[in-house]
């Protein structure tokens, strides 16, 4: 059995009495003593700090770096200015999703942020398609933190004493050897930091001493689900395309050929399934794999990919793939078909 990895903040989590669980090959905090709902609300009401040191950071440099990214990813990285980032997807030849990623353009290189469960796979896939003109490898000495919430930018500026007020979404700012991006995974405002592993614990301590709540994987999941954001292994897999997941805007058919382009062009004409949000009454929570029926309960029309009880909206919510359009459905939970309404998958949208 492969030994689980630990981020540089593992001892900090233990000291804060976090509940530690295995996740994507890592030992990670799922919650702290205050509980998942309290952590969730801390982000929605102010800000919370997440250890995302398990995420993969892949550095691509050399004369062929841009050409390689253009070939393996669906978005158009040629549109990136220096110190800008974009959401993109790595697809296989069938148009299925290998991973969804962030691409950073730095002054002398590019960085790809990969999901923890896919980091090794992503690196191998990119290397497979690289030429001698591109050098590809993990950004070994750095890892990541994420500060999320409506006050995240303000809190980050105060804690780091950094001039961040003019930092725009999907832009990068360098501060004392920290790469700061205005990005996130909660539906609220946020900033994420690429930090030297040697400096990570000190940066974490600054936020904790300032009273910023530490946030575990449990609240991360309820937050991202309220925002309708996909999680690999749930909304994405190698049989599911970014078009089906609702990310057609991250697929730029106008650029030169990229892996999966032909399959996605064919699929574009008639999607086999599409991702929706489902809102339910009561307290029964739909879980991944639950069958979704037509409103009359007679025909199976889809399957739940993620579900939770929403702390913000005080009701069960789910993401599901449907094979047909519907406004009302029934979701099978513990043998009972419960009524649900099909809604915008972004249940939560931050008011700017």
pLDDT band at 350 (very low <50, low <70, confident <90, very high): confident
DSSP secondary structure string, 66-125? HHHHHHHBSS-GGGPPTTEEEEEEEE-TTS-EEEEEEEEE-SS-EEEEE-GGGHHHHHHH
pLDDT digits (tens, 9 = 90+) for 84-127: 999 999 999 999 999 999 999 999 999 999 999 999 999 999 99
pLDDT digits (tens, 9 = 90+) for 315-328: 999 999 999 999 99
Report CA Rg, the chain: 20
pLDDT digits (tens, 9 = 90+) for 169-179: 999 999 999 99
Residues 6 or more apart whose Cβ sits within 8 Å of residue 178 = 160, 193, 194, 195, 199, 203
Q: How far apart are CA 91 and CA 192, in angstroms?
A: 25
Q: What is the mean pLDDT of the chain?
A: 97
Residues 6 or more apart whose Cβ sits within 8 Å of residue 73 = 88, 89, 90, 101, 103, 258
In the chain, what are the domains?
Answer: 273-343 (2.40.30.110)
Average pLDDT over every residue of 57-80? 98
What integer pLDDT is reported at residue 349 of this predicted model?
Answer: 84
- The pTM assigned to this predicted structure is 0.96
Residue 351 has pLDDT above 70, yes or no: no
Residue 352 has pLDDT above 60, yes or no: no
pLDDT digits (tens, 9 = 90+) for 178-206: 999 999 999 999 999 999 999 999 999 99
Q: How far apart are CA 137 and CA 60, in angstroms?
A: 7
What integer pLDDT is reported at residue 105 of this predicted model?
Answer: 98
What integer pLDDT is reported at residue 1 of this predicted model?
Answer: 61
- Helices (H) and strands (E) counted in the chain, each on its own, are 8, 19
What integer pLDDT is reported at residue 104 of this predicted model?
Answer: 98
């Amino acid at each position: 059995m492969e030994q689980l990895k630990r981020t540089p903040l593992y001892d900090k989590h233990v000291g804060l009495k976090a509940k530690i669980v295995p996740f994507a090959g890592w030992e990670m905090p799922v919650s702290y003593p205050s509980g998942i709902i309290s952590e969730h609300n801390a982000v929605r009401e102010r800000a919370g700090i997440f250890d995302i040191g398990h995420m993969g950071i892949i550095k691509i440099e050399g004369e062929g770096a841009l050409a390689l990214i253009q070939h393996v990813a669906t978005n158009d990285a040629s549109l990136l200015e220096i110190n800008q980032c974009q959401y993109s997807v790595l697809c296989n030849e069938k148009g299925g999703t290998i991973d969804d990623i962030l691409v950073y353009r730095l002054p002398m290189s590019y960085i790809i942020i990969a999901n923890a469960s896919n980091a090794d796979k992503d690196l191998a896939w990119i290397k497979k398609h690289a030429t001698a003109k591109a050098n590809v490898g993990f950004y070994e000495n750095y890892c990541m933190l994420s500060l999320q919430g409506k006050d995240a930018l303000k809190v980050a500026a105060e804690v780091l004493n950094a001039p961040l007020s003019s930092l725009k979404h999907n832009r990068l700012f360098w501060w004392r050897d920290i790469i700061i991006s205005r990005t996130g995974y909660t539906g609220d405002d946020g900033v994420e930091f690429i930090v030297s592993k040697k400096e990570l614990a000190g940066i974490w301590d600054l936020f904790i001493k300032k009273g910023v709540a530490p946030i575990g994987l449990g609240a991360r999941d309820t937050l991202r689900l309220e925002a309708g954001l996909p999680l690999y292994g749930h909304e994405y897999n190698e049989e599911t395309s970014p078009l089906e997941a609702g990310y057609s805007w991250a697929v730029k058919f106008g650029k030169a050929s990229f892996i999966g382009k032909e399959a996605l062009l064919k699929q574009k004409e008639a999607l086999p399934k599409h991702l929706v949000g489902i809102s339910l009454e009561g307290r029964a929570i739909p879980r991944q794999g639950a069958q979704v029926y037509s409103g009359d309960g007679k025909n199976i029309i889809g399957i739940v990919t993620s579900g939770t009880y929403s702390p913000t909206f005080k009701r069960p919510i789910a993401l599901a793939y449907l094979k047909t359009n519907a406004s009302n459905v029934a979701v099978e939970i513990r043998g009972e078909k419960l009524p649900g309404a099909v809604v915008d998958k972004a249940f939560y949208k931050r008011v700017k």
